[in-house]
Chains A and B, each alone.
Chain A
């Protein structure tokens, strides 16, 4: 990339001020990038003339590592590329393998998985609802969302033992059955979070400065959504009505998103940062409703197995298949190619953040440097999910 000097003539007699562009590296170490993302920005004053996202500082070779792990071990890796959607990513691998094996998962396990992935979604969304205002200089919402997260973390920790990387899924079901009384505690946690959501909302969308900072900033059009393969809350905030939970139902979502069910797909027509934030807020409410519905359903289900007994050596028959899930940040897909071995021949990972981030260059162009963080923060990404 060249940094050509440009002439800007202002009314100063014969001369005029010569200005040149400045190249500013945001990252790889920068507070706004939440990890090691790097943006190479060309600035004319405070205005961004060019923005080039440079990724790969956190590349861990997840796909290559998949190829030398058996299917049970892959789960450990799969829940690490997007550490805020660990449970949902485990589900993706499980679905891919179970479909290839033609395995029937017990209904009880399916509903529990659905419940936990919705709780995981709430945890994920709360995190971004807190970190986004932080980038705009509001330091307090972070602590409020962490209080709510703690309610849910407690029930997640009780059932799975983990707080971030749950490792609660197994091929064919779940590791354990629900502990006694856990459903009541989960319902209570969901009710507590729902009750306190207005406090967070008033901090965020009720704030005039936050509105002024985000309205009309970083607009993403439906055309861009299609070109870059953007998905998840960012696509829905641009008015693209797409949600795999409804459009390609997996787990128990078919029933939850059926007419009259609690499932709703939230969209906004504006496509700006504020719309993305609002979608996240509304989705949190929907996920809490879905979690409630799952809890009710689980109460009515009879006791029974939550997993399938697996052979000592698990081999997936030759063939290929693709399993996509609606992760909190967007489509997350695993393309599994097996040659009948106990490890996959290839397991391609399609992560949400990578596609979502790829549009940054186009979105940032012409915006102010101060809006850079407003846009970057509203793209809701996890660096591990970009670099894999």
Chain B
């Protein structure tokens, strides 16, 4: 791989990272508005307010950058960057077609799970570095959430890896068969729920709960740093939806997938992301202890059951 190619691939990932979350954010604005009998943004950019998030970005960039006196300044400043880099790195290994992947790693599934976990570290850095009680409570909650949700998330992913006999996301998509939609259904449920919790999206958003701990770890952030947190949240939804689409929905598989593979992948990702947005409109948030109970008494047993089911299936067909 030449230096030029590396630069080109990096730029491509960066462009995806800047564009996809914005598209998703705009979609959330519009989907939410229409579900609530509103229109949503209609002015910015002219056509149905398509440029609303760009306008928001400009607004954020103009805001004063405040670092509280009580904050642990380097940690406080670094946290949004860490959060962003986590999903930026994860996006590198997401394949859109067999050949369209920025970095084709042999164990890309493990890699994606590992680097997306870094985002939680950023939340902890922000929460403990802010010198604010609300932020600290938010950080406590996200730490507790991380511990209980990484387990079912990884167990569910392990099931897909076992079924495909590969730790590479591309390999898993290659091995995918429509029967997986049934066979891997319990694992898929666990994966979707755990990914939502990992992203701290409703109904698992108590670490940021705006009516209780006032955005939790993000309480003290302003301007561009706050915008970076938001950007990484939506990038996280993109990464997790793409992961779900690749593992369970067969990624680029579909009619004419030779030419239209990336379209299928994007459509499936969008469908999963839509579900993640939809849940936010319709459900209130759980309490932290209810979430833990849900994770350990429902998700983990279900994921273990899926593992056993997958193992039986693999042995039977071998």
Residues of A bordering B, CB below 8 Å: 22, 24, 30-32, 45-46, 133-140, 143-144, 147, 203, 207, 209-210, 212-213, 368-373
Question: In the assembly, what is the distance between CA of A295 and CA of B212, in Å?
Answer: 43
Instruction: Give the segment of B2-10, B83-91, B282-290, B302-310 that binds chain A.
Output: B282-290
Please tell me if the beta carbons of B288 and A138 are within 8 angstroms of each other in the complex. Answer: no
B74 within 8 A of A: no
Please tell me if the beta carbons of A22 and B133 are within 8 angstroms of each other in the complex. Answer: yes
Please tell me if the beta carbons of A31 and B205 are within 8 angstroms of each other in the complex. Answer: no
What are the 6 tightest A-B residue pairs by CB atom distance, in nearest-first order? A137-B285, A138-B284, A136-B284, A143-B36, A137-B284, A135-B211
User: Contacts A143-B37, A209-B203 known; A138 to B283 CB distance under 8 Å?
Assistant: yes
| Residue in chain A with minimal CB distance to B285 | A137
B201-249, CB < 8 A from A = 202-203, 205-206, 209-214
Please tell me if the beta carbons of B211 and A32 are within 8 angstroms of each other in the complex. Answer: yes
Question: In the assembly, what is the distance between CA of A67 and CA of B210, in Å?
Answer: 42
Q: Mark B94-108, 1 if CB is under 8 A from A, else 0.
A: 000000000000000
Interface residues of B, dominant DSSP: loop
Please tell me if the beta carbons of B285 and A136 are within 8 angstroms of each other in the complex. Answer: yes
B77 within 8 A of A: no
Residues of A within 8 A of B284 (CB): 133, 136-138, 207, 209-210, 213
Q: How far is the CB of B202 from chain A (nearest CB, A)?
A: 6
Please tell me if the beta carbons of A140 and B282 are within 8 angstroms of each other in the complex. Answer: yes
Residues of A within 8 A of B289 (CB): 368
CB within 8 A of A369: which of B37, B212, B214, B281? B212
Can you report 14 A-B residue pairs in the complex whose CB atoms are below 8 A from each other?
A136-B284, A137-B283, A137-B285, A138-B282, A138-B284, A139-B280, A140-B35, A140-B282, A207-B283, A209-B286, A213-B285, A213-B286, A370-B209, A373-B211
Residues of B bordering A, CB below 8 Å: 32, 35-38, 133-134, 137, 140, 202-203, 205-206, 209-214, 280-290
Please tell me if the beta carbons of A139 and B287 are within 8 angstroms of each other in the complex. Answer: no
Q: How far is the CB of A199 from chain B (nearest CB, A)?
A: 11
User: Contacts A139-B281, A209-B284 known; A46 to B137 CB distance under 8 Å?
Assistant: yes
Question: In the assembly, what is the distance between CA of A137 and CA of B291, in Å?
Answer: 14
Question: In the assembly, what is the distance between CA of A280 and CA of B38, in Å?
Answer: 26
Interface residues of A, dominant DSSP: helix
Q: How far is the CB of A138 from chain B (nearest CB, A)?
A: 4
Residues of B within 8 A of A212 (CB): 286-287, 290
CB within 8 A of A137: which of B35, B37, B38, B203? B203
| Residue in chain B with minimal CB distance to A372 | B212
Residues of A within 8 A of B213 (CB): 369
Extra contacts besides A32-B211, A136-B211, A138-B283 (12): CB < 8 Å: A24-B133, A31-B211, A31-B214, A135-B211, A136-B285, A137-B203, A137-B283, A139-B32, A147-B37, A209-B283, A213-B290, A373-B209
Residues of A within 8 A of B134 (CB): 24
Question: In the assembly, what is the distance between CA of A358 and CA of B285, in Å?
Answer: 27
Most A C-beta atoms less than 10 A away, residue of B210, B211, B288: B211
Q: How far is the CB of A134 from chain B (nearest CB, A)?
A: 7
Residues of B within 8 A of A134 (CB): 211
Q: How far is the CB of B109 from chain A (nearest CB, A)?
A: 31
| Residue in chain A with minimal CB distance to B38 | A143
Please tell me if the beta carbons of A31 and B37 are within 8 angstroms of each other in the complex. Answer: no
Q: How far is the CB of A94 from chain B (nearest CB, A)?
A: 37
